[in-house]
């Protein structure tokens, strides 16, 4: 068995596992609160430039920049799964108008919770905030690119806490240079690791797209740590072990990929 510690399984060769008779499991929904709260926290921070103001004030600066309120704005949630639903719930607390796109939309859930189900094209064109919560596959790879950026509102705030390759990074950098975005929050990247490890060379840091992204004051980056809360880490570990044990005992599997 391959018991994945987490939701994503794009690093597992599912075809090879199936051919070898290897069961693959994951932990869907267990990290939803942690990742959803991080995504919404990023939107709040970017709306008021908190990280930039924090750094400036600690250097004895006294900058006052005009932010924007989340109240009453339109938020687009791309992927209304467990994590997307957490973001939608948080958005309701700020009286935001919630739009959502999901290729497998639960229309009854959306209607019950006041979420407007729209096409992907409608969402990117209308929303002031866009939060990404889709898995990575052939259909979602680089779905956010220069073409989709061109259809978004100027000053849009974009957050991605799902998979780095949903966004074409070079196009994102070009958009930042063109001042398309009010802010960008990223916890995931198309190339991960190097910049955040102490033993990486300066050349790797200087040449990476991630290093280039960190030069923009309106970009907030974290180290793929969306589910790292005490509650989520303990719950994911528990489910991961229970999944493996269920395979060993040949019991019913709730989380088989």
Q: Is 192 a catalytic residue?
A: yes
Structure tokens at 89: 């719930």
Q: What is the DSSP letter of 144?
A: B
**Active-site residue among 97, 192, 212, 242?**
192
Q: How many of the other CB atoms lie within 10 Å of CB of 12?
A: 15
Q: Is 224 a catalytic residue?
A: yes
Q: Where are the alpha helices (DSSP H) in the chain?
A: 14-19, 32-47, 50-58, 82-92, 107-112, 120-126, 146-151, 169-177, 202-207, 209-213, 230-248
Residues in the chain: 257
**Active-site residue among 163, 206, 231, 234?**
163
Q: Is 163 a catalytic residue?
A: yes
Q: How many whole angstroms separate alpha carbon 86 and alpha carbon 159? A: 14
Q: What is the DSSP letter of 78?
A: E
| Residues 88, 113 contacting (CB under 8 angstroms) | yes
**Secondary structure (3-state) at 24:** strand
**Active-site residue among 113, 142, 212, 224?**
224
| Residues 42, 185 contacting (CB under 8 angstroms) | yes
Helix axes 32-47, 82-92, angle to 10 degrees: 40
Q: How many whole angstroms separate alpha carbon 190 and alpha carbon 142? A: 10
Cross-strand pairs, 158: 130, 184
Task: Report, as residue numbers or ranges, the catalytic residues.
Answer: 163, 192, 224
């Amino acid at each position: 068995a391959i018991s994945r510690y987490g939701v994503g399984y794009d690093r597992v060769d599912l075809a090879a596992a199936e051919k070898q008779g290897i069961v693959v499991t994951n932990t869907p929904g267990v990290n939803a609160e942690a990742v959803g709260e991080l995504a919404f926290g990023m939107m709040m921070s970017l709306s008021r430039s908190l990280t930039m103001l924090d750094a400036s004030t600690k250097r004895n600066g006294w900058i006052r920049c005009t932010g924007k309120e989340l109240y009453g704005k339109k938020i687009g949630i791309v992927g209304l799964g467990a994590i997307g639903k957490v973001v939608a719930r948080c958005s309701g607390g700020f009286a935001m108008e919630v739009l959502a796109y999901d290729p497998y939309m639960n229309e009854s859930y959306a209607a019950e919770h006041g979420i407007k189900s729209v096409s992907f094209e409608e969402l990117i064109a209308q929303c002031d905030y866009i939060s990404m919560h889709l898995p990575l596959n052939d259909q979602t790879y680089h779905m956010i690119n220069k073409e989709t950026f061109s259809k978004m509102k100027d000053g849009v705030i974009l957050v991605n806490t799902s998979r780095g390759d949903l966004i074409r990074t070079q196009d994102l950098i070009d958009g930042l240079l063109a001042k398309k975005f009010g802010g960008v929050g990223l916890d995931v990247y198309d190339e991960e690791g190097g910049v955040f490890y102490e033993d990486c060379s300066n050349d790797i840091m200087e040449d990476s797209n991630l290093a280039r992204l960190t030069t923009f004051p309106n970009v907030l980056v974290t180290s793929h740590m969306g589910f790292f809360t005490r509650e989520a880490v303990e719950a994911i570990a528990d489910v991961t072990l229970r999944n493996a044990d269920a395979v060993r005992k040949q019991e019913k599997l709730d989380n088989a990929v």
